[in-house]
Structure 1
Amino acid sequence: MQISHLGHSCVLIETYGQRVLIDPGDFSTAWRGLTDLDAVLVTHQHADHADPVWLPRLLDANPQALVAVESSVVEIVELPERTRRLGPGESIDLGSLTIETIGGQHAVIHRDYPRIGNVGFVFRAESEPSVLHPGDCLDAVAEDIDIALIPAFGPWSATKETIEFARAVGAPRGFLIHDGLLNERGLGLIDKHLTALSPTRLVDVRDTRPWAV
């Protein structure tokens, strides 16, 4: 398996010949122009996870790709008819790779904002590490996760909540996502606390090169 962090919450997972892109949003550009994708997944409707301008162009360039998004994304972004709407508790079969959806709601930004949908994705393949991408939901926790993609910062998070999420998942390895609003000092601070207070060993994959796991 190879995992590439393409900026903010955008991640490319490659395993058993499958190339799956998650959350191509407008806080990153490294995913633009990708081809030969087998699936494009979106956790929720916010533009930093589903770029309303460039995502349709990406899908036009990958007409063979399965498109599966949290159900409300289709109301915000122009998507092809083949798009599958997702809720929690569903499964996507890509042959040797299975993707399960968990969670259901985006983390609370403020009590005055209505909560929107959010599905986390759990990737499992025989003889490969399991991977969790939670989107923006710190309640999206699954068992037996080997690699956790941990949201570092957002208007809906606090460091103590990030630590508790990492502890609840309990993955031995992982890396920070949702980091587009952090400078080097902020990233260093989150890294320090997670390393000290959770079981997860963090890997720095911000150069977008594939991490072989």
Structure 2
Amino acid sequence: MTFTKKSHACVRLEKDGRTLVVDPGGFSEEDAALGADAILVTHEHPDHFDEDRLRTAMEARPGTEIWTLKSVADRISAAFPGRVHTVGHGDTFTAAGFDVQVHGELHAVIHPDIPRITNVGYLVDGTVFHPGDALTVPDHPVETLMLPVMAPWNKISEVIDYVREVKPQRAYDIHDALLTDLARPIYDNQIGALGGAEHLRLTPGESADL
């Protein structure tokens, strides 16, 4: 499987000539979802879900399908009958040849005064986990963790403890559009030294074999 980092929380996974894209939101490239055979969306916040990007990808490729939670599916399913699938915690499905398990139910707390929305994470092929906007720990070993390093709802101590709890072999930074270049060495050093897993960072467009 090949992993390509896109901007912010978006990732592309490729295997056997097929492509799975997770969270091609408004902070990612405009063409982040184009060419995907399957798209997964973790929740409706605009940095993870951009309706125009999804519509463009679905219209450009009639075979593309989306798996997501109800709040997102309700906004786009009518335009693409039979191609948008609603999922929730505990569900399993196959998307473009990738086996996917759904983990988690709620977005992380941003502030007690802000109501929490739903959020799901996706474990792909039993090895790669993208948690969306939550620090969900799957009840399954994880080889590669997509690690949300900078958000209004987390701090670095929580990020480090999350890596420790999940215990992946490696963790790649995602959700990093708000992280300045000045701060990146601090995050790299502290997560790498304290997380207990190999900590890696790709620039948008870079790829790695998993």
Whether these two folds match at TM > 0.5 is yes
Residue in 2 that maps onto 1:48: 47
Residue in 1 that maps onto 2:34: 34
Residue in 2 that maps onto 1:208: 205
Residue in 1 that maps onto 2:5: 5
- The yes-or-no answer on 1:107 pairing with 2:111 is no
- The yes-or-no answer on 1:144 pairing with 2:141 is yes
> Contact 1:179 / 1:187 at 8 angstroms: preserved in 2?
no
Q: What is the identity percentage for the equivalent residue pairs of Structure 1 and Structure 2?
A: 31
Tell me, what secondary structure is at the counterpart of 1:40? strand
Aligned length: 208
Pairs within 5 Å for 1:58-207: 58-76=57-75, 80-81=80-81, 82-94=83-95, 96-124=97-125, 130-207=127-204
Instruction: Give the stretch that moved more between structures: 5-14 or 200-209.
Output: 200-209
> Contact 2:38 / 2:96 at 8 angstroms: preserved in 1?
no
Q: Deviations over 1:57-91 (max 9, x none)?
A: 12211220121112111345575222111111101
Q: What's the Cα RMSD here? A: 1.8
Tell me, what secondary structure is at the counterpart of 1:73? helix
Q: Deviations over 1:134-181 (max 9, x none)?
A: 000102434211111100111111111111111111111121000011
- Distance in 1 of aligned mates of 2:171 and 2:59: 32
Cα displacement (A) at 1:124: 1.3
> Contact 2:171 / 2:199 at 8 angstroms: preserved in 1?
yes
Q: TM-score, normalised by structure 2?
A: 0.91
> Contact 2:19 / 2:37 at 8 angstroms: preserved in 1?
yes
Residue in 2 that maps onto 1:24: 24
Q: Deviations over 1:6-30 (max 9, x none)?
A: 1100000012333100000111116
Structure 1 residues 181 and 88, CA, compared in 2 at 3 Å: closer, same or farther? same
> Contact 1:13 / 1:21 at 8 angstroms: preserved in 2?
yes
Structure 1 residues 77 and 157, CA, compared in 2 at 3 Å: closer, same or farther? farther
- Distance in 1 of aligned mates of 2:149 and 2:52: 25
Q: Which runs of 5+ in 1 are unaligned?
A: none
Instruction: Give the stretch that moved more between structures: 170-179 or 91-100.
Output: 91-100
Q: Which runs of 5+ in 2 are unaligned?
A: none
Structure 1 residues 66 and 139, CA, compared in 2 at 3 Å: closer, same or farther? same
Cα displacement (A) at 1:208: 1.1
Q: Which amino acid aligns with 2:177?
A: G
Q: TM-score, normalised by structure 1?
A: 0.90
> Contact 1:106 / 1:137 at 8 angstroms: preserved in 2?
yes
